[in-house]
Structure 1
Amino acid sequence: MTAEFMLIAFTLFLAGVLAVPIASWLGLGSVLGYLTAGILISPFLHWVGTDVVALQHFSEFGVVMMLFIVGLEMNPKSLWAMRSRIFLLGGLQVVVTTLIVMAIAMAFGQPWSIGLAIGLVLALSSTAIVNQTLREKGLLRSDGGQASFSVLLMQDIAVIPMLALIPLLALPELTEAMSHGATGEGAHGEGGLNLSLVDGLNGWQTGLVTLAAIAAVVFIGTYLTTPVFRFVARARLRELFVTTALMMVLGIALLMTLVGLSPALGTFLAGVVMGGSEYRHELESDIDPLKGIFLGVFFITVGASIDFGLLGQNIVLVLGLTFGLIALKCVILLALGRAFRLQGGDKWLFGLGLAQAGEFGFVLLSFTVANAVIPKDIAGILLLVVALSMLLTPALFILYDRVIAPRYSNKEEREADMIEEPAPIIVAGHGRFGGIVNRGLRAAGHDTTVLDYSSEQLALLRRFKISVHFGDATRPDLLQAAGIGEAKILVVAIDGKDAITELTRYVCAHFPHVHVIARAVDRNHVYDLWSVGCRDVIRETYDSSLRATRSAFEALGHSRATAERMVAEFDTSDREVMLDLAELHDINIPAVENDAYMQRVSEMMEVWQEQLAGRVSNATKIAD
């Protein structure tokens, strides 16, 4: 048994290791790589007798951990700001999709109860695939990404009443057939431990227990997280931190399961509550690798769960239903997106991204069969539809990336064109870097124009009478609308190393009178920005690293004055070296292939170390 388990685990990991790099290299994304890996190893898993469904349920814990991490990155204030999208947009999506699918099923001769159950199953989308893909592509913070996240969160909430409703839809003939089939097996049925906290309780009692469980999650996240991690920190064992983080997520997921709630929803709530903890980043870094492993296995099992025998027998029907479902949900989502004022590419990202069925569909279909709601033959076809729609999702994102997004980047309507008096300072990107720069400038009485992708964030800035443009700051027409021709300063704080470089190159070349302050991602990026003409480059983590170095010197026993002088000498020496090397850097040649650059680095390394050591030594003597 041990050898069999290790063989299956080795096969899963080997398939992922081989398929995902190839898929990423082809620009298809990791999700499609995992799904393809599952399809390829499916015959082997069935040959060794692997219970793919059971493995899939186990690996769904990756979805739970993913939502926990998403919760950590949010806060109650931002969640409250999204309430209309979560409950109104998400609620409408679930209700409208359910009713339309139900009507179509009834039109094909199914009873209303089966049609409603099918509608509930197919109304859901894949939290795992959509969130993972949006995060990989950096689209989660866009308006389309935020709308998608809101709907997915509402769908997770909706699973709870769905599980309560489905048993009420049971068909008498199916119930009778199942009871007859189970008669001969009752004596040999397996006994199970009933761990539910709500079995046998009436409605109000169940509600009280559920509220108590949610209150317990909030209490644990608010008051116990920090003391528990402080206690664990005394052991000074990294693995104990990982174990504690995993224990907390498992415990919260278990508690939610015991009261009949979605474990993913419970851990998301816990993540939101724990987001203010001083151990937030520790939790995220500990859980993230485990989340990736479980999600990878989950996607592999989705690919492996496709029954190709049944698919071959019903190929036309299954493909027709799959493409019909994607088209139907896309139309519904596009209509809702337009009603909720999603514009251009964001509307299509929302429509295409959520057009598939979701992993909870596997759970609900099993539940409907067990509760005599949907016959096994129909459920088998629907399982294929769910799996294939998920398999096609990466292709929908590729369609968005390569066909739709480029069109809207060129044709996007620009709200900010109406600005009559552009400010002399333009801040491109209002995130954690640009936002601080902008607040500092405005606090000193300077007017700024902000360029950013998030229309919600920019709407908030407009309330404070800050001039803003929605869109891609690298677009020349948008820069013109923002007043780049008359601007004095441009602060480049957008995301993406290449995007920063290209924007800096364009402005330095076409508007040399503008003083460009560009954020550099790393040391090599400093050289790239220097080579395109920027002479005011800020390394995004450099100053904080110098402060950390100063703290390290103080911890070693040096006085504050000595530590500051030592750091100042290091800073001076480092800048001199960078200026020297920047003149030899060629943006079109990798550093390791630039012979002149590499030779100069080799020559300078030993000399620089000696000079730096001398400067630091002198600084120490002077300060002491």
Structure 2
Amino acid sequence: MSADLLHNPALSDALVVLGAAGLVIPVFARFRITPVIGFILVGILAGPFGLGSLVPRYPWLYHITISDPAGLDPFAEFGIVMLLFSVGLELSFARLWAMRRQVFGLGSSELIGGAALIAIGLVVLGNSWTTALSLGLALALSSTALVLKISDPATPVGRAALAMLLFEDIALVPIIFLLGAMGRGDGAQDSSALLRTLGFGVVAIVALLVLGRLLLPRLFAQAARTKSPELFLSASLLVVIIAALVTASVGLSPIVGALIAGLLIAETDYHTEVEGITEPFKGLALGVFLITVGMGLNLPLIWDRLIPVVMAVALVLIVKAGITALLLRLSGARAGTSAEAGILLASPSETTLIVLAAAVSAGLIHRDAAQFWQAVTAIGLTVTPILAIAGRWLARRVDRATTHHHVEPDENDPRAFIIGFGRVGRLVADMLREHGKPYIAVDSDADIVAAGRRDGYSIAFADASRGPALARLGIAQATAMILTMDEPRGLLRLCRRLRAEHPDLPIIARARDASHAAELYRAGASHAVPETLESSLQLSEAVLVDLGVPMGFVIASIHEKRDHFRQQIMDEGELAVKPKLKSAHLRERAPS
């Protein structure tokens, strides 16, 4: 039994993949390099053209190589599905509608223009127009998986890239049907099949939109009430898989369903929590996809045809970067944005491999030619992170030369964060709103969030104890952090973490009493307000006013007393820290 387990391809490959994730992510993060390159290198090393080719000679290499590359394909596809789902979470229907001109105008121009230029070049080199058009459409696609992993959708470059990639994902099915209609092989399709698929696709998308709007808020509200992260995760994955299966069953790409699922959840109050809880799955599955890209690099073939492969990669990159940058510049984008986006989108895509396979099936491309262009695609995907670095460098140089350090305004306006939306948090929100100060409230209770939304408050569903939740809500732009939760221990932990991560952020915390306030000051709070102190001061104010003391004198004395107590509490906090420092100092000086 144990010998069978040791030679089980699934377990052996799982060991390689999980080991790669455990090594690549922390090592590359340590040197501030994207793990994308690391995963691709693992695929090259552990794939059938790397160490895998040496297994017959050295059998022990079996345990550190991928023995069944095809077995990873479903996990790689799931990684792309999860990536498009996360893109949908960051969008909304309103934002997508606002991007419609970029998606269908700029995106279509980029795809058609790039495909046309590449096809013309291939015809000049002696290819038939059908072969040239097939290769042009395949190579004009850009990598959704890598580009959206590298770029930030909140930046001008990220928004432009997202618009173009969305159109390419939508156009994938029509491209495959077009190749089938042009073809003369087993993949040939007639126009009625295309129309039938598009008709069923429209019905499926409308059904997903209607049912999603009706059912998803209720589903996630029930999951949130259980306070169970496992149930929340299960509900999220269930929605993604069902939506992907629905669109796949009618002939559309499963990534279309994943994108719609993300858009629907983005319209609920739970999108931040869903995004945080599904992040590890997206990262691991995307890592598997990148490993399969590395495994696709046929090193002997590349070496035998090194000069033609390198020239083909260079020409594809130059043509795509040029057409993309030109279109962006003509649409009014900055020179630096145009240059960076053009270089970032220059590589072929993972979907290029799908289109190449469809073209081979339709008899439009010979298998030898397809292998050559698969190698070109794999190299292009491998150098995408390097292109991103080069694009950023070039964008800075171009901007310095043309705009004199002009800086794009940030669309995320600074605002205060209110953590906890009970009676205290709601009162703080009322005061901020009354004085025109922007804020966002955060709470992990679904009923409280729903009630706050009904009453017109700016509130998001998220668990602030999880680090990524606040980051996704824009804590980098926070003007202040107001902690109002009625959980003394949790409040201390959150205060300590926030101070460590954001040294200059003002943190105002609600405390139960003076001793709790002293602990909060030691944890890094800028201000800690004890409830018992405030209630005593309010009681004193009411008494003094009723006894006839003028309001001005009462307010002045209340402020003076509050400042006195605050200083006293802060001094107590410092005194509590000093014995610890002293004992640590004595331990250091003690002889060993």
TM-score (norm 2): 0.69
Q: Residues 213 and 259 of structure 1 are in contact (CA less than 8 Å); yes or no, is this contact kept in structure 2?
A: yes
- Mapped to 1, the partners of 2:167 and 2:341 lie a distance apart of 15
- The structural deviation recorded for 1:207 is 3.8
Partner Cα distance (2:237, 2:358) in 1: 28
2:197, 2:252 within 8 Å by CA — same for their partners in 1? no
Q: 1:16 to 1:204 in 2, by over 3 A?
A: closer
Conserved in 2, the CA contact under 8 Å of 1:56 and 1:302?
Answer: no
The change in CA–CA distance for 1:323 and 1:563 in structure 2 (over 3 A counts) is farther
Residues 1:161 and 2:152 aligned together: no
Contact 2:174 2:194 in 1 (8 A): no
Cα deviation for residue 442 of structure 1 reads 12
Query: Which residue of structure 2 aligns with residue 114 of structure 1?
Result: 131
Decide which moves more: 149-158 or 362-371.
362-371
* Whole-angstrom distance in 2 between the partners of 1:114 and 1:286: 45
State how 1:58-73 maps to structure 2 within 5 Å.
Answer: 58-73=75-90
Whether contact under 8 Å (1:16, 1:33) holds in the other structure is no
Contact 1:428–1:434 (Cα < 8 Å) also in 2: no
Single out whichever of 307-316 and 384-393 deviates more from structure 2. Answer: 307-316
Query: In 2, Cα distance between the equivalents of 1:122 and 1:548?
Result: 63
Map residues 206-245 of structure 1 onto 2, 5 A cutoff: 206-232=197-223, 237-245=228-236
2:165 pairs, out of 145, 152, 171, with 152
Where does residue 9 of structure 2 map in the other structure? 4
Change beyond 3 A, Cα 1:257–1:10: same
Shift of 1:406: 3.9
Distance 1:522 1:366, change over 3 A: same
Which of 496, 499, 503 is 1:523 aligned to? 499
Partner of 2:394: 404
Whichever residue aligns with residue 67 of structure 2, its letter is T
What SS does the aligned partner of 2:383 have?
A: helix
Percent of pairs with identical residues? 27
CA separation in 1, counterparts of 2:224 and 2:93? 27
1:79 aligns with 2:84: no
Change in CA separation of 1:41 and 1:566 when aligned onto 2, cut-off 3 Å: farther
**1:327 paired to 2:345:** no
* Mapped pair 1:143 → 2:156: yes
Deviation at 1:404, TM superposition (A): 2.1
Q: Which residue of 1 aligns with 2:39?
A: 34
State how many pairs are aligned.
466
Partner Cα distance (2:113, 2:314) in 1: 19
Cα gap change, 1:563 to 1:379, in 2 (>3 Å) = farther
1:252 corresponds to which letter in structure 2? Answer: A
Q: Which residue of 2 aligns with 1:424?
A: none
Q: Does 1:393 align with 2:371?
A: no
Q: Is the 8 A contact 1:429 1:494 kept in 2?
A: no
Partner of 2:22: 17
When residues 253 and 199 of structure 1 are mapped into structure 2, their CA distance, relative to the original with a 3 A threshold, is farther
Counterpart of 1:272 in structure 2: which amino acid? Answer: L
**Distance change (3 Å), C-alpha of 1:30 and 1:204:** closer
The counterpart of 1:602, out of the listed 580, 583, 586, is: 580
Once the 2 structures are TM-superposed, how far is the Cα of residue 564 of structure 1 from its aligned partner?
6.9
The SS at the match of 1:357 is: coil
Q: In 2, Cα distance between the equivalents of 1:576 and 1:270?
A: 50
Work out whether residues 297 and 378 of structure 2, in 8 Å CA contact, stay in contact via their aligned partners in 1. yes
Report the Cα distance in structure 1 between the residues aligned to 2:579 and 2:333, rounded to whole angstroms.
51
State the one-letter code of the partner of 1:79.
L
Alignment counterpart, residue 403 of structure 2, candidates 413, 433, 446: 413
The 5-angstrom pairing of residues 46-445 of structure 1 reads 47=55, 48=62, 50-135=67-152, 140-171=153-184, 205-232=196-223, 237-401=228-392, 403-408=393-398, 410-411=400-401, 413=403, 431-434=412-415
For 1:547 and 1:95, locate their aligned partners in 2 and report how far apart those are by CA, in whole Å. Answer: 61
Give the AA of the match of 2:180: P
Q: What SS class does the counterpart of residue 248 from structure 2 fall into?
A: helix
Q: Secondary structure of 2:151's match?
A: helix
Q: What code does the residue aligned with 2:173 have?
A: I
Alpha-carbon distance in structure 2 between the residues aligned to 1:548 and 1:291: 40
SS of residue matched to 1:211 = helix
Matched to 1:602, the amino acid is K
Q: Which amino acid aligns with 2:263?
A: V
**Structure 1 residue 572, shift from structure 2 partner:** 7.5
Write the distance in 2 (CA, Å) between the matches of 1:104 and 1:428. Answer: 40
Which stretch of the first structure deviates more once superposed, 27-36 or 225-234? 225-234
Aligned CA distance change for structure 1 residues 256 and 604 (closer, same or farther; 3 Å)? farther
Q: Give structure 1 stretches of 5+ with no counterpart.
A: 180-197, 418-426, 447-492, 501-519, 530-537, 550-559, 582-596, 606-624
Q: Is the contact made by 2:76 and 2:286 (CA closer than 8 Å) also made in structure 1?
A: yes
Distance 1:27 1:71 in 2: 27
Paired residue type of 1:127: T
CA contact (8 A) 2:79 2:283 kept: yes
Structure 2 distance, partners of 1:578, 1:526, is 23
Q: Write the distance in 1 (CA, Å) between the matches of 2:337 and 2:537.
A: 46
Shift of 1:24: 3.1
Query: Is the contact between residue 31 and residue 299 of structure 1 (CA under 8 Å) also seen in structure 2?
Result: yes
Once the 2 structures are TM-superposed, how far is the Cα of residue 298 of structure 1 from its aligned partner? 0.8
What do the CA deviations read for 1:526-547 (whole angstroms, capped 9, x no partner)?
A: 65x4xxxxxxxx43xx45x649
Partners of 1:241 and 1:299 lie apart in 2 by 28
Deviation at 1:147?
A: 0.4
How many Å separate the matches in 2 of 1:566 and 1:62? 57
Query: How far, CA to CA, are the matches of 1:262 and 1:219 in structure 2?
Result: 20
- On the 8 A contact 1:87/1:154 being kept in 2, the answer is yes
Deviation at 1:127, TM superposition (A): 0.5
1:469-520 Cα distance to aligned partner (Å, 9 max, x none): xxxxxxxxxxxxxxxxxxxxxxxx99869x99xxxxxxxxxxxxxxxxxxx9
Please state whether the residue corresponding to 2:44 is helix, strand or coil: helix
How far is 1:405 from its partner? 4.2
Instruction: Give 1:110 shift.
Output: 1.1
Within 5 Å, give how 1:480-499 maps onto structure 2.
Answer: none
